[in-house]
Structure 1
Amino acid sequence: MPDGPGVLEFTVRRPHSSRTGEGVRVHSTEYLADADCVMRAGLRTTSPARTVGDLMRRCRTREAAVVVADSALSRRTVRGVRREPLVHRAQLAAELSAPRTGATLARHWLKLADPACGSPAETVARLHMRDAGLHPESQPLLGSRSGRTLRPDFLFRRAGLAVEIEGYAYHGTRQAHDHDIRRYNDLADCPEVRRVLRFTARDVFRRPDAVVATIRAVLGQLAGG
């Protein structure tokens, strides 16, 4: 399991001792049954539920753990292919029910997961909005007056405020930029949308308080208007 750039993590049964080498981290545990393992491409690996559970139990922050859960539980498009969730919530809840180090926090963090979130930046933005008492819908299905269907990252339906979190990796080409402009115009054309706010992933990770303050201020304007 990756933990930072260039680092691979492995879990083995005791009596192996936990050790770290260049680019490799090995954890030993007495809690590794045959049922926790599967074969993939000729390699013996931990199952998706066990892998995600291990990641969540080892996460040091709420944000990191919920990003892991959201990604595993979501249906995401990877290289143009819509993939099924890696695990289902019931499977992950069962995995985290075992009394292991980090499991109590991981079970609490699982309750915050939202499979509709489409990226780590969206997950972190949602958690900061939640902390501030703001609870938008995640990626609701909308239709523009021109007939296009869209899913904004977040929608405050009563106020008519759509919030988009833009990642440079997705929008860093001319073609993606053109697509982004059309999407913005179509989103503004949806009957449910009165205003659109856009933030970068950098804004979310580095200035979350400013992002939340801007959203709150616009919600106040729309409520007063």
Structure 2
Amino acid sequence: MYELATLARGGVLLTVWALAAGWPPGRLAARLRRDGWQRLCRGAWAAPGKETDWRVRETALQLLRPRRVCSHGTAARLHRIELLTAPSALPGSRASLPPEDVCLRRGLRATTAARTVADLIRTCGSREEAVVTADSALARRVVEGVRRDPLVRYGELAAQLAVRRPGAPRARAWLALANPASGSPAETVARLRMGDAGLLPECQPPLRTPGGRALHPDFLFRAAGLAVEVEGYAYHGTRRAHERDIARFNALQSCPEIRRVLRFTAREVFTRPDRMTAAVRAALADLGG
């Protein structure tokens, strides 16, 4: 009989592999318990001491069920697509999908980015959730500390949503609100809320300081010279990031197009967007914009 560790793949052992290697069922169960193997699900174990996160559990499930494909929230996490609210669980698996809608992502079979976003938008409960998802996939982002390029093109999402599936008409209307210039979920929600209030700024426009430094404010009301910045704690959570942010804020105010800068926290955007839009409207009136 082979040692159990040599039968495992990536720290995951299926019971059927051990039985095929000659381990008697009773002896196998005793050995697994004695050595501290961790039960992931029926028929699958993780090596002693291995961290059993969602990826390890999904790996075990895909080893047990070769046709299983991650979808929805699980696929979004694999692709590093930001969601407005993280699901309490990571639902979503499919057993039957067209081959063109399936890819290998971080070692697991998953729906492609385009199919993932389309599935999520069609099942989202709100416009904000849908547009945040689309913006994230369309944009170049840093997610979970990893810098990634845009995952999809607008045309790919439109083609996915052109297929007749439940929720597609509403999803197409929400997709029309997407903007790949958005830099974060908070920026997406701020843009939508300002639009609801009749405020239509430019998103991430290119500016230059007198010294030639390139800057992209989150939003710009060019006629009034008003810039609006949305600050997320995840991005500014270290001393060095805070110092960098202050330097950027000072540089932004030196741009010839800028007369005033308003800054809002992501928390304000999510919980009190009415205050944000009221402050923007008051600043525009003060600036004559």
Give CA-to-partner distance per residue, 1:29-88, whole Å, 9 cap, x none.
Answer: xxx322211233543211111111001111000000000000000122457765321110
**Distance in structure 2 (CA, Å) of the matches to 1:50 and 1:221:** 46
Extract unaligned runs of 5+ from structure 1: 15-31
CA gap 1:98/1:158 in 2 versus in 1, 3 angstroms? same
Q: What amino acid sits opposite 1:11 in the alignment?
A: S
1:9 aligned counterpart, secondary structure: coil
Partner of 2:203: 138
CA RMSD of aligned residues (A): 1.7
1:193 aligned counterpart, secondary structure: coil
Q: 2:213 aligns with which of 142, 145, 148?
A: 148
Q: Does 1:56 align with 2:121?
A: yes
Partner of 2:281: 216
Partner of 2:260: 195
Partner of 1:8: 90
Extract unaligned runs of 5+ from structure 2: 1-71, 74-84
**Distance in structure 1 (CA, Å) of the matches to 2:246 and 2:269:** 21
Q: 1:103 aligns with which of 161, 164, 168?
A: 168
TM-score (norm 2): 0.68
Q: What amino acid sits opposite 2:202 in the alignment?
A: E
Q: What amino acid sits opposite 1:108 in the alignment?
A: A
CA gap 1:5/1:62 in 2 versus in 1, 3 angstroms? closer
Within a 5 Å distance, the mapping from 1:2-151 to structure 2 comes to 2=73, 4-13=86-95, 32-78=97-143, 82-151=147-216
Residue identity over aligned pairs, in percent, reads: 61
**Structure 1 residue 194 displacement after superposition:** 0.4
**Distance in structure 2 (CA, Å) of the matches to 1:202 and 1:40:** 32
CA gap 1:159/1:96 in 2 versus in 1, 3 angstroms? same
Structure of greater relative contact order (alpha carbons < 8 Å, 6+ residues apart)? 1
Decide which structure has the larger Cα Rg and report it: 2
**Distance in structure 1 (CA, Å) of the matches to 2:125 and 2:209:** 41
More strand by share: 1
